[in-house]
Structure 1
């Protein structure tokens, strides 16, 4: 049985790929099942979460409401399930392929900064398109862009 929501995601907003993914999850989280904590924010204290900055920087961490900690792909699977997209990552949890996806995530996490630099033009394009799509939903001067862009 999965612990109760909310699931707090401890992520690096200074990583463009990570930040883009968290923005996507935040925008889809209509039920408020996720909370987001930027480990790169000034004054962030990893010890308040019972760990070190180096451990948090090495892979995505999630903390359930009861204090249970999940890491890496398990965190992504839980976050996607929280926003109704569990089916997208469910196949990555199947026994025969789970080790492959978990390893692929760990490799991504290790090299996320150079990956982010290489993917910067794509990330900028995706971010711009998402902003335009949100702006298109604005009606009568009222819009949810400011709310969605907050960490």
Structure 2
């Protein structure tokens, strides 16, 4: 099974999470696609970059589209980490968690600045941050 994550390559927190997931993607179940890549629309005509900027998008190999925290939960489940995210998908908690996620998505550049001191990534290639090749720390294995 392949799960494709469509992320904002200009968001420092988004890129940091993709870096963590990529480092743990030993089974290569995850694919990472930056919605700001110059050829994104040509490669993924069925994914609207504006919508994917408003809410995280992910696509299963069978074409099923997941959104928001469902994407986050699926991605971390596939690498076998952060099982607690499953609690955010429980019926009563889900509504509140989804509202909190949408708040984060709308304000991710301001929140990134609070946590990283940067509201947007420095330009890498074609103005888009790349996912760094990183290895997981011992406590992430």
Interval of TM-score (by shorter of Structure 1 and Structure 2): 0.7 to 0.9
Note if 1:111 corresponds to 2:107: yes
Note if 1:71 corresponds to 2:67: yes
2:22 to 16, 20, 26: 26
Moved over 3 A (4+): 146-149
Aligned pairs, number: 123
2:96 to 94, 97, 100: 100
Alignment of 1:2-151 (within 5 A): 5-45=1-41, 48-85=44-81, 87-121=83-117, 147-148=133-134
- Aligned to 1:45, the other structure's residue is in SS state helix
C-alpha deviation, 1:116, in angstroms: 1.2
Structure with higher Rg: it is 1
Q: Which runs of 5+ in 1 are unaligned?
A: 123-145
- Aligned to 2:91, the other structure's residue is in SS state coil
C-alpha deviation, 1:88, in angstroms: 2.2
Q: Which runs of 5+ in 2 are unaligned?
A: 119-131, 136-141
| TM-score (norm: length of structure 1) | 0.74
Q: Which has the higher helix share?
A: 1
| TM-score (norm: length of structure 2) | 0.79
- Aligned to 2:28, the other structure's residue is in SS state coil
CA RMSD of aligned residues (A): 2.2
Q: Which has the higher contact order (CA 8 A, sep 6+)?
A: 2
